[in-house]
Amino acid sequence: MKKLNDNNKLALQMLIAMVAGIAVGLAFMGIRENLGSDSATWITINNLLFQDITAAGAERSIGLFYIGGQIFIRALQLIIVPMVFSSVVMAINEISEASTLGRISAKTIGWFMTTTAIALFVAGAISLLCFNMGIFNIEIEGVEGTVGSTGANPLKVILDIVPSNIGATFSVNNAVLSIVFLSVVVGLGMNKLGLGSSSFIYCLCEEVSKIIVIFLNFIVRKFGPAAIFMLLSRTFATYGIDYLKPALNYVLLCTGLLLFYLCVGYPLYVMLVCKLNPVTFMKKVFKVIIFGFSTSSSAATLPLNQDVTTKELGVDPKIASFVLPLGMTVNMDGTAIMQVVATLFIAGCGGYDVSAFQLVVIMVLALIASIGTPAAPGAGAVILFTILSGVGFTGEQALIAYSLILAINRPIEMLVTSLNVTGDAVASMVVAKSEGKLNTEIFHK
């Protein structure tokens, strides 16, 4: 009962921090608009609270909210690689039969592809309707037409699964698929050699996992609400209204679709596939949603998501340890929705026609590109250029619209992350249910 109360208390604290952070951020946004972003008063406020102290020309800035938020995110990013590797190695080692592992992998990938395809269909159909109604026919001025990325073959993600340097893979946080591949190889090798839970590697992974749990609980419970407040306050305070107005239709449509899939789609999956109460699910996963929204990083949210999924949703740890890290880079429903809406918005601004066939091409490219999107803030909007290159939407006005997306997309990316991490939790529940590894008693507590 105490644990349940602690979880409810943490969720309430996060909710209060989120509401307060957005309110304070919007208040500072109003101050910024009234004073002007070039006024001495706003520059002083920005340097004291919000300035990125790593940026050029910020050598004398303090950036209290930036420092507080970044320390929290970095502390979470610190444990991503060891947590993914140790948890997957233990999960694979405990799944002794290769056929069982293959079955779980097939179910996981199949579910990821199914939910993303449904999300793309809904987003594509509604976005094309809005496009044909002329809602996206907007002339954008005052934004430089710069490009934040170069086009790349989206199939490169398949090549990147197998790393060429094990040391380099473990030194970065954006090669999660490679880490999953390596941990699966190690786990299968241990199985083949008959190395059980008494082996050195397994014991090491187990000890690392225990340390990570202690570290995670301390960081999230002691500093989580304050960090959420600082992250959200800074995000909204540093936005300008001039950038938001031209893209208002994009923002409203994208936000509506994301909220629909988050609040209706996923609860429906839980109710229809897992035969569980969708309201209970949303209550339990709520702090993961807030956390993903605040950090805008699936990677930073992974530790908390794994804790909630196993201890509150009732998913077997072996299933969660395999599905969640894989979903962090493969299951990108929110990213796919955002990229389809953004592509049609850019097409409308650029004066392009979009046929039904082109829409299918856009959806396929969005599916592939979303799989290769790093689990980091802002990555989805940058990868968007791959889709634009693939369909030829690279004219001057289209690039100006793309630059606008890069400039204003942070709030959208925050909601995208909430969707992605919730989808990972649902996937782990569905796979666990199909394997008879979903503890409904824990779910109903």
pLDDT classification of 148: cutoffs 50, 70, 90: very low
C-alpha 287/C-alpha 18 separation (Å) is 10
Sign of the torsion formed by the C-alpha atoms of 167, 170, 171 and 176:
positive
Flag the least confident range among 135-144, 170-179, 265-274. Answer: 135-144
Residues forming beta bridges with residue 438, ordered by sequence position: 315
Percent of the chain with pLDDT over 90: 23
Out of 3-17, 118-132, 309-323, which region has the weakest mean confidence (pLDDT)? 3-17
Say yes or no to pLDDT of 1 above 50: no
DSSP string, 263-315: IIIHHHHHHHHS---HHHHHHHHHHHHHHHHHH--HHHHHHHHHHHHHHTS-B
pLDDT band for position 115 (cuts 50, 70, 90): very high
Average pLDDT over residues 349-360: 84
| Average pLDDT estimate for 164-190 | 81
Measured in residues, the chain has a length of: 445
pLDDT higher at 326 or 111: 111
Pairwise pLDDT comparison (40 vs 389), residue with the higher score: 40
pLDDT of residue 111: 94
Query: What's the CA gap between 397 and 419, in Å, rounded?
Result: 30
Distances from the Cα of 16 to the Cαs of 13, 107, 225, 229, in angstroms? Answer: 5, 37, 8, 9
pLDDT at 150: 43
The 10s digit of each residue's pLDDT in 355-374 is: 888 888 888 888 776 665 55
Mean pLDDT score, 190-207: 83
Task: Please determine, for residue 274, whether its predicted confidence score (pLDDT) is greater than 90.
Answer: yes
Most confident of 98-107, 113-122, 154-163, 170-179: 113-122
Q: Is a pLDDT exceeding 80 seen at residue 142? A: no
* DSSP 3-state of 438: strand
| Backbone phi and psi for residue 384, each to the nearest 5 degrees, phi listed first | -55, -30
Predicted local distance difference test score (pLDDT) of residue 273: 94
pLDDT of 149 higher than 50: no
Q: Comparing 402 with 101, which gets the higher pLDDT?
A: 402
Number of Cβ atoms within 10 Å of the Cβ of 138: 18
**Arithmetic mean of pLDDT, 391-420:** 81
How large is the average pLDDT for residues 319-333?
Answer: 84
As given in the structure block, the two tokens for residue 65 are 């909210």
The residues spanned by each domain of the chain are 98-174+241-444
Cα separation, 134 vs 192, in Å, equals 60
**pLDDT tens, 221-270?**
888 889 889 988 888 887 766 666 667 888 889 999 999 999 999 999 99
Who contacts 218 (Cβ-Cβ below 8 Å, separation ≥6)? Answer: none
Q: Which amino acid is at 160?
A: D
380 with 370: CB under 8 angstroms?
yes
Specify the pLDDT at position 146: 43
Q: What is the mean pLDDT of residues 158-173?
A: 80
With tokens 């839970």, the residue in question is: 197
Where does 366-441 show beta strands of DSSP type E?
A: none
Burial class (CB in 10 A: 0-12, 13-18, 19+), 382: middle
Q: Is the pLDDT of residue 9 over 90?
A: no
Burial of 424 (0-12, 13-18, 19+ CB in 10 A): buried
| Whole-number Cα distances in Å, 407 to 37, 161, 178 | 16, 30, 30
Mean pLDDT of the chain: 82
Q: Does domain 98-174+241-444 have CATH number 1.10.357.10?
A: no
C-alpha distances in angstroms, 238 versus 24, 248, 416?
Answer: 11, 17, 20
pLDDT for residue 20 is more than 70: yes
Which neighbouring-strand residues pair with 315? 438
Residue 145 has pLDDT above 50, yes or no: no
Predicted local distance difference test score (pLDDT) of residue 374? 55
Contacts with 195 (C-beta within 8 Å, 6 or more apart), sequence order: 93, 201, 202
Task: Tell the burial category of 66 from Cβ atoms under 10 Å away from its Cβ (0-12, 13-18, 19+).
Answer: buried
Q: pLDDT tens digits, residue range 371-390? A: 655 555 555 666 677 778 77
Among 60-64, 97-101, 296-300, which is the least confidently predicted range? 97-101
**pLDDT value of position 7:** 63
Amino acid making up residue 414: M
Give the tens place of pLDDT for each residue, 50-76.
888 888 888 888 989 999 988 988 888
State phi, psi for 315 to the nearest 5 degrees. Answer: -80, 135
DSSP state for residue 181 in the 8-state scheme: H
HSE toward the beta carbon, residue 21, CA cutoff 13 A: 29
